[in-house]
Structure 1
């Protein structure tokens, strides 16, 4: 198939280029600069210059596509995102997808969208599945809007839609994962909990980015359409995840901070992700597609993250654990090293 990928240079998009190309598909990745073009080429794709917010640039890039993956985002990776940051992400996600739908020609028979499971988390913190009512907040409103947009467009344009709601993604090259690792090593990242003293832990559903990309490739291979949740095998509390991450790094166990206090430092949306539970399963997806995660739990996933960082120089071993080196001196992986291990 010819797969057109918007968001080809993102954490998920890079892996999608790898995975689709490895399966023998022709992958066209939308890029905005030469660095992005080089990244897509090294992973086996064909770069096409354009911007989802500039419809005139999309038609040449999308020509002849069988599958369109709308993986473009502008998720803020900063300590305290502003309303303008979230509005930018909204525009890239929603207006960008609307432009992709409007530009798609008659060859397109499927649109795919990576949504997030916590768009449907329940107010009481209980477990939920694909049938649950959605409860979007400021951070997930755009994901819900794109879900609705694609469902409406499917009936009008005649293409199929595959929506995979992913667990909270983590990976060695993911901005939020890197923030966590650096914060744990510097003792600047606390466990954020609910309640007056921050002692109430939220249970979250996670997913390694390698497994997320493979889920899309296998969903298309299995001709699976509709809405699915894709998460790993074991929901985990924020306290257990941060503590396990610290242990892998040889860092001290993080202290606790109540969510009401953390809001002043990182903003309401960031705190909501960490203090409002979203436990779910991938039971339906696994039954229909046969997908199994390569990293069944956060334990295997965190071991891979820290191992990759140690190998590429992001962290450096000390007498008691590791210290953060980061981007300045870390050796960047080549294409073969960067490819996801599945």
Structure 2
């Protein structure tokens, strides 16, 4: 197939593009900067500069590519674009990404319709943001938490827009867990080493992770099978913070994370961080394994963290 990867130089795009090429697909990958076109070539793809927020730019790029499939991997959470990560100020941290998940999604879907593309796969998120009711592990039938009243609410609304619009267009939405792997693990390990990532309260809140290579393999299966609907792309072991954080510290050669009571964490780190640590819900990957035939190289974050941080 001719596969158009919007956001081909992001952390997942850099793992995804060469794998698509290796499987015989012709890949056209976008970047927002001409300076990154050489990187796209190194990945084996044809590069094109595109502004996902400019409808004409998207229309022209897709029309020129004449793809059989479109992969929406556009985000703007790199510190260059979004500043330093902050759960306390998640609305500011994800402002650019939220626009790409709303305006950018609409632009891509309009371009897809204009060129007759129906094989569409878009990025969503499922790490700790399951609805805070019932059990700790959620399926695709469960709602995501809208996080009303928190700084994460605009981001959850943007995710809802992606999911509704892409599924309505007959495409597939992949709810990726918390990424780790090349160019992603250090973003988690660095604050752990600096003891800036404490366990809040009882640390019972669950999180689901996924290695970038496993996320890439699931994405390829989805586009090759022209799958439709929503899939959780996470590993086999959703885990509470009181397990994965100390394990991460041990793998990174750091001291054990500190423990902070909820009353202190709320003003310091914000309500979203408290929710993640104490009430977060993880996700099940059973549907993706069953319907896509997906197998994981890293079934557990335990194996992956140990290897990545060795």
Q: Fold match, TM over 0.5? A: yes
- Report the counterpart of residue 338 of structure 1 in structure 2: none
Structure number with bigger Rg: 1
Runs of 4+ residues over 4 Å off in structure 1: none
Distance 2:29 2:308 in 1: 26
- Which residue of the partner structure matches residue 181 of structure 1? 189
* 2:141 aligned with 1:131: yes
Structure 1 counterpart of 2:119: 110
Deviations along 1:303-330, one digit per CA (max 9) or x if unpaired, are: 23214xxxxxxxxxxxxxxxxxxxxxxx
Structure 1 residue corresponding to 2:102, chosen from 85, 94, 113:
94
Aligned length: 294
Once the 2 structures are TM-superposed, how far is the Cα of residue 227 of structure 1 from its aligned partner?
Answer: 1.4
**Cα separation, 2, equivalents of 1:112 and 1:166:** 12
Which residue is 2:75 aligned to?
Answer: 73
Counterparts of 1:31-42 in structure 2, within 5 Å, are 31-42=31-42
**How much does 1:109 deviate?**
2.3
8 Å contact from structure 1 (residues 122, 128) kept in 2: no
TM-superposed deviation, 1:81: 2.7
Change in Cα spacing, 1:236 to 1:112, as seen in structure 2 (3 Å) is: same
Deviation readout 1:80-105 (Å, 9 max, x if unpaired)? 43534333321121100101111223
Between the aligned partners of 1:59 and 1:70, the Cα distance in structure 2 is: 14
Alpha-carbon distance change, 283 to 83 in structure 1, aligned in 2, over 3 angstroms: closer
Deviation at 1:225, TM superposition (A): 1.8
Decide whether aligned partners of structure 1 residues 84 and 134 sit closer, same or farther in structure 2, where only a CA change above 3 A counts: closer
On the 8 A contact 2:125/2:177 being kept in 1, the answer is yes
Q: What is aligned with 1:15?
A: 15
Q: Secondary structure at the residue paired with 1:207?
A: strand
TM-aligned CA deviation for residue 48 of structure 1: 0.3
Q: Give 3-state SS (helix, strand or coil) of 1:11's partner.
A: coil
Contact 2:203–2:241 (CA under 8 A) maintained in structure 1: no
Measure how far apart 1:259 and its partner are: 4.0
- CA 1:205 to 1:271, structure 2 compared with 1: closer, same or farther past 3 Å? same
Output the CA distance in 2 between the equivalents of 1:238 and 1:184.
12
Deviation readout 1:203-223 (Å, 9 max, x if unpaired): 222111111111010122233
Q: Which has the higher contact order (CA 8 A, sep 6+)?
A: 2
Q: Tell me the TM-score normalized by structure 2.
A: 0.87
| Cα distance in 2, alignment partners of residues 270 and 38 from structure 1 | 38
Q: 1:306 matched to which residue of 2? A: 309
Q: More displaced, 73-82 or 124-133? A: 73-82
What secondary structure sits across from 1:140 in the alignment? helix
Q: How does 1:1-342 map to 2 (within 5 A)?
A: 1-63=1-63, 64-75=66-77, 76=82, 77-79=84-86, 80-81=88-89, 83-104=91-112, 105-117=114-126, 118-137=128-147, 138=153, 139-152=155-168, 154=169, 160-174=170-184, 177-192=185-200, 198-307=201-310
Does the C-alpha gap of structure 1 residues 8 and 274 become closer, same or farther in structure 2, counting only changes over 3 Å?
farther
State the distance in 2 between where 1:260 and 1:35 align.
46
How far the C-alpha of 1:186 sits from its partner, in A, is 2.3
For 1:166 and 1:122, the matched residues in 2 are separated by 18
User: Unaligned stretches of 5+ in structure 1?
Assistant: 155-159, 193-197, 308-342
CA distance in 2, matches of 1:132, 1:266: 28
Q: TM-score, normalised by structure 1?
A: 0.79
Q: Secondary structure at the match of 2:120?
A: strand
